[in-house]
Amino acid sequence: MNPRMAVLLLSVLLSAACSDPAGRPESDDRFIVLGPSLVELMHVCGFTDRIVGTDRYAAWPPTLDAADIGGYLDPSLEGITALNPTSIHIVGQSPDLVELAASLGVPVHSYRFDTLDDIFSSLDSLSARYGGDAGAFRIELEARLDSIARSIEDRGAGGASVMIVVYHEQGASSMTIAGGGTFFDGILRSMDCSLSAPAAGSWPMISAEGVLELSPDVVICLNPGAADSLAVRQAEKDYWGSLGFARDRVFCLFQSYLLIPGGRLAQTAERISECLPSR
């Protein structure tokens, strides 16, 4: 064990020794959760009151009462230690947190949120470990996606190719789009639609010429948190119109959860489905 980890372990032991006996029972779960998607998923699964620390980017639910333990990539190891966690939950991998968890004698669990299947696997993992509402939410999410797919079939909107633009600076001739192997790909496949993107790359940057070559049926521009949605919508429709796309096939979505594949994934799917044209 390196010296820093030894100091951290000593601090948590001292903290536990000085804690108020009337506080939370020793057997209570105390989660450190890093990654907004995972925080949101744990909330809808009924584990909100177990979360004692999150990274600074976790913003939903707004009522979450948890300590800010720094950035997702550079969390405060001292801050985590002081919270006396019983487990650490992270999106992806972090050698520092694995080492910290080992020094504290608590498990560290890793999750992925790249694809739609990853999200279902995360729910299965949470259900197996903690029960709660994870299993019920999985069933609910599958049911809502099935319902959306049926409504698209009824409208005759299936089969559309959709480009999802995740970043486009106004006036720029290139943009970042969602590619294959992302949760957007899974959402569209569940609707019997296809993601319009190059063959390689999860979040590729493409030029206007690349857009024209792909020739999507629908373009959906994501602008979560845009300060002036009317100005953004006008600018995007003007830009895509200059490339020859019909303005009624260009959509702008502004909801804050659109790029967070967590507890509000069904709402993201619904917003996308509303942009699909009836045939």
Mean pLDDT by 10 residues, the chain (279 residues): 41 39 53 96 96 94 92 91 97 93 97 96 96 96 96 90 95 94 96 95 95 96 90 94 94 95 96 89
C-beta of residue 88 within 8 angstroms of C-beta of residue 109: yes
Q: Determine which helix (DSSP H) or strand (DSSP E) holds 68, and give its type and residue range.
A: strand 67-68
Tell me whether residue 14 is in a domain: yes
Same domain, 98 and 11: yes
Same domain, 21 and 87: yes
C-beta of residue 179 within 8 angstroms of C-beta of residue 146: no
Q: Name the amino acid, one letter, at 116.
A: L
- Which long-range contacts link 69-73 to residues 24+ away (Cβ below 8 Å)? 69/32, 69/34, 72/34, 72/35
- The reported pLDDT for the residue numbered 279 is 67
Tell me whether residue 126 is in a domain: no
Whats the size of the chain, residue-wise?
Answer: 279
- The reported pLDDT for the residue numbered 171 is 80
Same domain, 17 and 144: no
Paired residues of 207 in beta bridges: 174
Same domain, 166 and 46: no
Same domain, 107 and 189: no
Q: What is the reported pTM? A: 0.86
Same domain, 145 and 251: yes
- The reported pLDDT for the residue numbered 21 is 36
Q: What's the CATH code of the domain at 82?
A: 3.40.50.1980
The range of the structural domain enclosing residue 29 comes to 3-111
Same domain, 258 and 159: yes
Single out the residue in 111, 143, 175 at which a domain terminates: 111
Q: How many structural domains is the chain composed of? A: 2
